[in-house]
Amino acid sequence: MKIRNVKQKLAALGTAAALAFAAADCGASSSAPSSQAQKQADYTVGILQYTSHSSLDEISGAIQAELDQLALAAGVTIDVQLKNGQGDNATINDICTMFVSDGVDLIIPIATPAATAAAAAVQGTDIPLVYSAVTDPVAAQLAQSMEAPGENMTGTSDYIDTARILDLVLANQPETRSIGLIYNLAETNSETTVANLKPILEEKGIQAVESTVTTPGEVQMAAQNLASQGVDAIFVPIDNTVASAMSVLADEANRAGIPVYTAADSMVRDGGLATTGVNYTKLGQLTAQMAMDVLQGADPAAMPVKVLDDGIVTVNTTTAAALGIDPNVFDLTGEGYVTVE
């Protein structure tokens, strides 16, 4: 209900962006806008994508495709409503309220901030959550433990191997003395990643130079700030805010000749230099499989969180060429690496 008010408000503003938002919103729910359609399907699922960036787009696409396949195979129908929170708390809360008042059978929030909001919204209801790509569900207080999450929720996690990302940095720049870190302090997922990295940096005598942001719009200044401090490299943890402005960061860093190492392949596709990380299409598919199990009666509280830790090295060859770096330095294991341009 409330989301309709948001749409009206946006439409009243009369801007192109508002109209685009409203149109996109209608499109997303057009498969089942009415309660009639909901009654016809065996199950209704609300997907809440935290914001728009390439990794979350990949995940939500994979979840929907896999749910379609699983429904077909099981001979059931699932009415899937995909909503994008645009990284905005009010919008996210409105979407959660709508899912709850519609009485969906299950919610799939994608990314930690979406999962946190959805978990609060389903308090006192019996709607289960199967979250996707939550880096540290325990630190985010979404799971009591990875093995037995408790409450009425479980999901998938993307493990960030900070030590291996640092190996990539040192393979290319053995003399690294300082690393710039760009992230949003409000994202638990980034906080955990940075907390894991810091002791390793300290041990190696590498200085961490932090530049935090609260919105994607601040990323450019943060990058300029790090460049002016002369950092040897920049590391981006698994941060949704920075990922939303990754191409801006890459442009700024490449211009200053500073290599950017990231915690996800999407941020390398968007112009970063190198990463080692997980396959987010696979992660989305796993999320959908867990969701299907829960829809068909499995107890989420007792389903262990599934952690992916693929360790796939991805290198952007265009960025490497611009920085005069031989991509082969990143072939740490001799097993090769994925290249993107």
Tell me: does residue 243 bind ligand TRP (CB under 6 A): yes
> Minimum CB separation from ligand TRP for residue 272, in Å?
10
Instruction: Quote the longest CA-to-CA distance of the chain.
Output: 64
Tell me: does residue 45 bind ligand TRP (CB under 6 A): no
Among 26, 42, 64, 20, CA closest to 281? 64
Pairing verdict, β 207-212 and 43-49: unpaired
> Minimum CB separation from ligand TRP for residue 247, in Å?
13
User: What is d(CA 49, CA 59) in angstroms, rounded to the nearest whole number?
Assistant: 9
φ and ψ at 82, to 5 degrees? -100, 125
Site for ligand TRP in 139-178 (CB under 6 A): 158
Site for ligand TRP in 280-299 (CB under 6 A): 280
Q: Please pick, from the candidates 135, 276, 285, 316, the single residue that binds ligand TRP as defined by CB under 6 A.
A: 135
> Minimum CB separation from ligand TRP for residue 291, in Å?
17
Site for ligand TRP in 244-283 (CB under 6 A): 264, 266-267, 280
What is the number of H-type helices and E-type strands within the chain? 14, 13
Among 78, 67, 64, 74, CA closest to 32? 78
Q: Which stretch binds ligand TRP (CB under 6 A): 129-137, 220-228, 248-256, 301-309?
A: 129-137
Residue 221 pairs with which residues in a beta bridge?
none
Token digits of residue 38: 């909901």
Q: Please pick, from the candidates 45, 106, 127, 134, the single residue that binds ligand TRP as defined by CB under 6 A.
A: 134
Q: Please pick, from the candidates 81, 116, 162, 189, the single residue that binds ligand TRP as defined by CB under 6 A.
A: 189
Tell me: does residue 108 bind ligand TRP (CB under 6 A): no
Tell me: does residue 111 bind ligand TRP (CB under 6 A): yes
DSSP notation for 138-193: TTTTS-S-SS---TTEEEEEE---HHHHHHHHHHH-TT--EEEEEE-TT-HHHHHH
Tell me: does residue 191 bind ligand TRP (CB under 6 A): no
CB contact at 8 A, 84 and 63: no
Q: Please pick, from the candidates 98, 117, 127, 133, the single residue that binds ligand TRP as defined by CB under 6 A.
A: 133
Residue nearer to ligand TRP on the CB measure, 116 or 152: 116
Residues that bind ligand TRP (CB under 6 A): 55, 111-112, 133-135, 158, 189, 238-240, 243, 264, 266-267, 280
